[in-house]
Structure 1
Amino acid sequence: MKNILFLLIFLSMFADAQVNRFYYDYRFIPDSNHKEDVKKEMMYLDIDEKGSIYYSRDRFIADSTSMADIRRQIKSGSGSLNVTRNERAGQVSYKVTKEYPEFKTFLFTRVSMDLYKVKEDQKPEWKILAEKQKIGEYDTQKATTTYGGREWIAWFSTAIPFQDGPYKFYGLPGLIVKLEDTTGSHIMTLVGNRKIDSPVVETESGITGNLKIVGIGGKELEISKDQYRKVWKAYVNDPSKNMREMMMRNSGGDNTKMSFKVKTSDGKEISDPSQMFREMEKKTKESLAKNNNPIEPDLVK
């Protein structure tokens, strides 16, 4: 009887609309050496009968705007392309999808100029505890797991009958209302929800060819986690290698010429290739030093 009631509640969630959107306030500390510097991002978890997508609201808005502008330029047939990235493009660039009912999970991310679809091979193994807590309007129960190189605490609510949650987490008898690692470096808290007519985020851009060099278009290459780790290590060892190779290949053969410029920390534009590569390597090393506390340490070790 309990299982039948759960199923009826679950089906009713899709009676009036195709997608249930849950809003998560994501607070994280990118640099473990500066724990006082806490970043904030609004994340969406869109759930329908086929699965879910977890992604940044600001990144989605910025990418949608850039994509629309690129499509307009291509349609105009001018033969040139001017790509501008929004300075407020969001701080979380990845997306995570889960396919029901198996909960097949993929991480969509980018390394340098290449896009990857990384297949997850680990399932969260939960220990459900007796402890309960009121979070917002929801009565929740505690669960713990070890995942991706961190110890995690989740608070889930059986009042929301989705066995899903933020990032790659799922498998509890209700939606995860709050998730945090034991160091307090990554905290995701449900702050609202509503129904929308249809999903609006695309996991693939639909644009192929030279445009993938700007990190906006192109089709993601599906790889394993082990393959991704090798790609990441190669990037850390030589951050500008990918750009050098792609600039040599993309010489405007499809009648679309692309030019590249890099800005230094003082705002100076650099177009000379050798100087540009040096500046890219410098910026990458600085960025890696300041972002040494990732949500999934095992993926970049």
Structure 2
Amino acid sequence: MKKVFLAVITTCTLSVPGFAQQRVVTYVNGKSTIFSLGTQPELQELGKAVIEFMYDYQYLNDTTDITTAVKDRMILQVSYGMSKFTSFRAMQVDSLLHSATADDIQGNPARYVGGETFSVYKNYPSGKFTTTDKIADDWFIYEEDIPQQEWTLTEDTKEILGYKCHSAKCIFRGREWTAWYSDEIPVADGPWKFGGLPGFIMEISDVGSQYRFVCVGINSKAERLITMPKVQYIKTSRGKYYATKYKYDIDPISYMGTTSGVQVQIVNPDGSPRTDLTQAKELTYDYIERDWR
């Protein structure tokens, strides 16, 4: 069994009138997550989903070892003229954090972690894609023109969830992708930033399966609201976003100290100090978009 390591940030006062905000950092299986207790953001309503698709999403945390796959359950909410792709697990965690205390998190950190922090909004605003993500304690947002994906259709077919699917291939931002789409579903959409096929993308993976999305469920009677956190975003570009994410991923402790002035004390479960997590590391994988550098 892998050990769970905790890092606790001491209580600090931020520029929020009327109260002190406590932040807790946990390390679970080598991944750090920051919690700002009692400050879950309000949500802006963008519309209501008319159909929802559940995906199993996985990527390799070490491209030389297929056993390192990180998995998450994602949800694609489709409305009239727009859609949102986000982590369903993160939605559940956000709900738990509304009433969590520092003791709750430290007592059972695995209950409060998990789920990708990014969301992709298609055709919002009109003619654009909007991506939001939380890096450390900061929210980032960037817009881009709807990307063009030049698909090559093939004759291959297979069945997914009872739907006949056709194969298509494209090269997109540094990776070669194979998609399986169904024209039996009248939605020209797909997971993450994918789309543009004559049907709905049920499955897609890159060469080597370093990244993979597989549809595992469809809710045709969806009524869940499509929302966006009402926070103070840092507006950026796609390239600058990845550069910032890279700085955090290779050295989260230094990133927090530099950007927020937060002093972090890292301890083992028995309270003894731990120093190895304070050292910068090299990533053993590359991001889904390889053209960011």
- Fold match, TM over 0.5? yes
Say if 2:233 is the partner of 1:225. no
- Displacement of 1:92 in angstroms is 2.1
Matched, 1:158 2:183: yes
Q: Which runs of 5+ in 2 are unaligned?
A: 1-47
Superposition pairs for residues 70-109 of structure 1, below 5 Å?
84=105, 86-88=109-111, 89-99=113-123, 104-109=128-133
Q: What is aligned with 2:79?
A: 48
Counterpart selection for 1:267 from 261, 266, 269: 269
Offset at residue 226 of structure 1 (A): 2.7
**Are positions 1:298 and 2:291 aligned together?**
yes
Question: Quick one: distance in 1 between partners of 2:247 and 2:78?
Answer: 35
Partner residue of 1:69 out of 90, 99, 116: 99
Q: What are structure 1's unaligned runs of at least 5 residues?
A: 1-16, 74-80, 207-217, 251-259
Q: Distance in 2 between matches of 1:120 and 1:107?
A: 8
> Aligned in 2, Cα 1:227/1:178: closer, same or farther, shift over 3 Å?
same
Contact 2:141–2:233, Cα closer than 8 Å, also in 1: yes
- TM-score in terms of structure 2 length: 0.70
Given that residues 144 and 151 in structure 1 are in contact (C-alpha distance below 8 angstroms), is that contact kept between their aligned partners in structure 2?
yes
Give aligned-pair identity as a percent.
25
Structure with the larger strand share? 2
**Aligned match for 1:289, one of 264, 283, 286:** 283
Distance 1:41 1:18, change over 3 A: closer
Distance 1:139 1:54 in 2: 23
**2:193 — aligned with what?**
168
Per residue, is there more helix in 1 or in 2?
1
Change (3 A) 1:234 1:192: closer
TM-score (norm 1): 0.68
Alignment of 1:37 with 2:68, yes or no, is yes
- For 1:233 and 1:261, locate their aligned partners in 2 and report how far apart those are by CA, in whole Å: 20
Letter in 2 for 1:43: M
1:176-209: CA deviations, max 9, x gaps?
A: 0111111112221111111222325x321x3xxx
* Paired position in structure 1 for 2:156: 131
Cα deviation, residue 141, structure 1: 1.2
Counterparts of 2:183 and 2:256, CA distance in 1: 48
Pair 1:190-2:215 in alignment = yes
Q: Secondary structure at the match of 2:99?
A: helix
Q: What amino acid maps onto 1:243 in structure 2? A: M
C-alpha separation in 1, matches of 2:117 and 2:271: 25
Q: Which amino acid aligns with 2:151?
A: W
In structure 2, relative to structure 1, the CA distance for the partners of 1:65 and 1:168 (3 Å cut) is same
Matched residues in 2 for 1:92 and 1:237: separation?
A: 17
The number of residue pairs the alignment matches comes to 241
In the alignment, structure 1 residue 203 sits paired with structure 2 residue 228? yes
Give the C-alpha shift of residue 20 in structure 1.
0.8
Change (3 A) 1:244 1:45: same
Partner in structure 1 of residue 22 of structure 2: none
Is contact 2:124-2:130 (8 Å) kept? no
Q: Compute the RMSD of aligned alpha carbons.
A: 3.2
Q: Give the C-alpha shift of residue 238 in structure 1.
A: 6.1
* SS of the residue 1:87 aligns to: helix
